[in-house]
Structure 1
C-alpha cells in the first residue's frame, strides 16, 4: 500500500522535482498557520467561557449572600423610631378582574401599621369589573366614615384615561392626579404584603437618605450602600417579588414554572444586580445598562445640548413594578429616557406619568429615567418581599408570558438580552464542559469516555446550581416550611424551567409581536409598543418593521424577496 493516498506525490518524486517542493512547501506552511490560528482561537474562546463561568457563579453567590443576610433573619427588625414625622402616603392599586386571593391582597393595604397620614385609591377601567364588589366590601369594613376615628381614607376611581397602549398607565392616570400625598406606593393587585410594617420600613428608606444633608444613620437591616452614592437621595424603593401558589385548587404546570423562575433564577439575579448597582453607584430577567455621569448635568431638570456625558462603569438597577415607591413630584419632572426634557423644544415635551404610556415595560423605563434625569438612586434594602399570588397558569401561558417580556426587554436593552442564554444553567453548562475538554482533554480526562466525563460534570454543575437557587428561594420565603414540603414538585419544575429557557429565548428573538390581556401589540425598535387592530394596514406595517429589527431579520428579508421574485438588492421600506 503506498504511503500516500492516490493523487498525492511521494517523497521520492517530490525530492526529484524542485518545482514540486517549491509548490508544496507554501501550502504546508499555510495549513500550519491556519491550524495554529484555529487552535489559538479555540483556546481563547474556551478561556473566555471559563472566566464567564466563574463570573456567573460569583454573581449568583452574591445574590444568595444578599438573600441570606437581608431576608432570612427572623423576626424582622422593627421600623425606625425617629423624631422625624412620617410623611403622608397614597397607595395606588390598579385593578382588573378577580385575581387570585384578591380580597386578602387588598386587605393587606388596609392593615398597615403606619403612624402617618394614609390614603388608598383603587382604580378600575370598567364599572362592570368584578373587582369592584371586593373593593366595596373592604370599604364597608375599613373605610372612613362619620363617627369612626380609625377608618382609612379610601377612594375608588372608575374609568381609564386613554393615553397609550399600556393599560396600567391608562388605569393609573386619574388616581395619580388625584393623590393627596407626594409619596406614592403603586401596588399591583396580585401583591400581598407580608407584614404590617412593610410601609413604614419602605418610608424609612426615604427618611434615611434624603440627600447630602442627611444626618440619620443606618440601622442593622439597612446596610450602607457605600461609596459616593450616599450623596444621592433615594427616589425609588422597590421590593423583590416572591411567587406563591395557593395551597388549594387548580395548580397546573405553568404556575409551578413561574414560581421557580421568580423565586430562583430571577430573584438571585435581581438581588445581585441591585446590590452591585448600589455599591458602585439597576430584570429580566435583566435590564442593566451603563449609566451616564449625573454630576455633569448642569441642571438636574433640563437638557443641555452642549453636554458630552462620560460613562462610568456602573449598572442601572433592575426594577420590577409590582411594588414601587416614588415621589409624585419627581415623576412630574421627567420623560422616558436618560436625557432630561428640553424646555426649548417645540412642541414642549409631555412630562410625567403620561409620557410612559407607549412602553409596556413602564416600570423599568420610569426607574431608569428617575435615576438618570434627577440623579437619584434606588433602594431595595428592606427585609420585606412582595408576595405575588399566582393563579392557574398553563404550560402554554407560561411559555408565551416569558416570550412576551423578552420581546419587550430586547428592544430596551439589546446587549443584556443577547447574552441572556449565557446566564442560564443549560447553555452555560454545555459551553463550560466544552471549554474544560478543550484545555484538559489529555491531562485530566485521560482515557475516560467523554460522555462519562460529561455526565460527572453535569451532575456536579446542575446539583450545585439547583442547590443555590433552592437556598435563595427558602431565604426569601416568609414560610420556608412550605417550600420544604414541596421540594420534589419544585425540583421537577426547576429542571423543566431550566431546559425551557433557551427555546423560549429563541422564539422570543424571532419576532416582535406580543399579546397582553387579549390585545396584540408590536414592540418597535425604540422600545415603544403599538397596538395592532384587525384590518389596520398601518398596524401590519408596524409589525413588519418590528420584525425586521430582530436578529433574524436579514434571513427573513431574503426569503421574502425570493418568494416575491424581487432580487436581493431590493429591500422593502414598509
Structure 2
C-alpha cells in the first residue's frame, strides 16, 4: 500500500512539472507575439490642440566612462517641446561635472541645472543623489534616467504618448546598444532573451516588473506616497515606486522603445555581478523567486521535464532534453531578433557561444545570490532583509 502512495506522489510531481513545462512554452510564445506587437512602433503625431506636457528629467551621475559624454548629449538633442534636465552629482570632484558643463555650454537653449551633494534621506545612494533635483523639479511628469542610457530623438515622445490618463508610470524594457566584444554579445543575449521574455510577459499580464533605469512617473503620486525620500530605505526603489503607484489604483506599463544601455564598461565579471545583485533583490522582495526562478531556466527545466515525461509516458529522456534545448534556443533567437528590430551585430556562432554560456552559468549565479545575501553596490556593502529593506554594513567612504 505504501508503495502505491509513493508512486502516486511521484505521479503528481511529474504531472505538475509537465504542466509547468507546457505553461512556460506559452510564456515563450507570448513574449515573442507581444514583443512583435508592442516594441518599436513609430510615434504617431498628435494634433496641435493637444500639446505634449513638460517633463523633468533626473540624471544621477557618479564617475565617467568613454560613452558618458555621447550618452548625455542625446538628452540635449531630443525632439520634445518642453523639458528640463536636472543633473545630480555626488560631489564637486566628480569628473562627470566637467562633461555636463561642456554640454550645457554647447546647448545653451536647453533648460539644464546641476545639483551637487544630494541629501541623505536613506540607505539608497541613488535616491540620496537625486533628492535635491527631485525637490526642484518644475513639472508634474518626471523621469529618472540612469547615466548609461542613450536616447533616440523621439524616445521621450514615445514614453509620454504611452502615459494615458489612467497610467501612473511608463518604463522602458532594458536592452543594450550594439557594442564590440564578446562581453557585449553576452549582455545583448541576456537582455534580449531571458530578461525580455519575463519582462514582456509580466507587462502583458500587468505584473510589476518596472526597472528604474529609465522610468517616467507622475510627481503627485510619488508625493502622495511620501516623496522619493520614502523609498530611500530600499535598494530596489524602482519596484517599490511602481508598487506605490499600482496600490493607488493607477496602471503601469512599458513604451515601445527599449532602454538603450550604452555603458562604456563592459566586462563579463561586472555583468555577472549585476545579475547576481538583481537576483538578490528579487529573492528579498518576492521569496517565491527561490523556487520558481531556478526551475524557469533552460537547463534545469529541461532536465525536470525529461524526467517527468519519462515517468508519465516512458519517452527517452535524453531525446526530450535535447529537443527541449533546441526549441528553447530557436525561440530565444526569434525573441532576440524581435527586440533588436534589425540585424544582430554578431554571427550565429557567437550567439551559440553566448547563449550556452548564459544558460549554463545561470544556476550558479542564482546559487551565489541565494547564499550570499549581502550586496556590494557603489562604495557600500548592504545586508538585505525580507521585504526588500536593507541595512548598510559599510557606509560609503569608510574603509
Provide the TM-score with structure 2 as the length reference.
0.94
- 8 Å Cα contact 1:236-1:378 kept in structure 2: yes
Whether 2:325 is the aligned partner of 1:462: answer yes
SS across alignment from 1:384: coil
3-state SS of 1:91 partner: strand
Q: Which residue of 2 aligns with 1:399?
A: 272
Instruction: Write out aligned runs for 1:59-458 (5 A).
Output: 59-71=27-39, 76-81=42-47, 83-115=49-81, 117-143=82-108, 151-193=109-151, 195-206=152-163, 209-210=164-165, 233-247=166-180, 251=181, 253=183, 255-277=184-206, 282=207, 317-334=208-225, 351-372=226-247, 374-380=248-254, 382-441=255-314, 445=315, 453-458=316-321
Report the equivalent of 2:355. 494
Judge conservation of contact 1:99–1:189 (CA < 8 Å) in 2.
no
The whole-number CA distance in structure 2 between the counterparts of 1:371 and 1:469 is 31
Aligned partner of residue 285 in structure 2, secondary structure: coil
Instruction: Give the CA deviation at 1:356.
Output: 0.6
Q: Distance in 2 between matches of 1:131 and 1:107?
A: 13
For residues 362 and 418 of structure 1, the distance between their equivalents in structure 2, rounded to whole angstroms, comes to 24
Distance in structure 1 (CA, Å) of the matches to 2:263 and 2:333:
19
Offset at residue 123 of structure 1 (A): 0.9
Paired position in structure 1 for 2:375: 514
Q: CA deviation at 1:391?
A: 3.7
Shift of 1:408: 1.7
1:53 aligns with 2:21: yes
Question: 2:267 & 2:58 partners in 1: Cα distance?
Answer: 30
Q: Confirm or deny: 8 A CA contact 1:239 1:385 kept in the other structure.
A: yes
Change (3 A) 1:246 1:257: closer
Instruction: State the distance in 2 between where 1:112 and 1:397 align.
Output: 30
Give the Cα–Cα distance (whole angstroms) in 2 for the partners of residues 390 and 111 of structure 1.
19
Aligned mates of 1:82, 1:499 — CA distance in 2: 53
Off by >6 Å, runs of 4+ in structure 1: none
Consecutive unaligned residues of structure 2, counting only runs of 5 or more, are none
| Higher Rg of the two aligned structures | 1
TM-score, structure 1 as length reference: 0.66
- The alignment partner of 1:414 has SS state of coil
Q: Deviations over 1:126-185 (max 9, x none)?
A: 111111121112111112xxxxxxx11111111121122211101110000011111101
Separation (CA, whole Å) in 1 of partners of 2:66 and 2:330:
30
Q: How does 1:25-36 map to 2 (within 5 A)?
A: 33-36=1-4
How many pairs are equivalent? 395
Q: Is 1:482 aligned with 2:344?
A: yes
Encode CA deviations 1:99-131: one digit per residue, 9 max, x unaligned.
35212211111111113x211111100111111
- Partner Cα distance (1:201, 1:392) in 2: 28
Moved more, 459-468 or 76-85: 76-85
Contact 2:43 2:157 in 1 (8 A): no
Give the CA deviation at 1:72: 5.5
Question: SS of 1:156's equivalent?
Answer: strand
Taking CA–CA contacts closer than 8 Å with sequence separation of 6 or more, which of the two structures ends up with the larger relative contact order?
2
In the alignment, the residues of structure 2 paired with residue 498 and residue 84 of structure 1 have an alpha-carbon distance, to the nearest angstrom, of 47
The reply on whether 1:473 has 2:346 as its aligned counterpart is no
Sort the Cα spacing of 1:256 and 1:519 in 2 relative to 1 into closer, same or farther, 3 A: farther
Q: CA RMSD in A?
A: 1.8
Structure 2: how far apart are the matches of 1:178 and 1:499? 47
Counterpart Cα distance in 2 of 1:526 and 1:383: 31
- Secondary structure of 2:224's counterpart equals coil
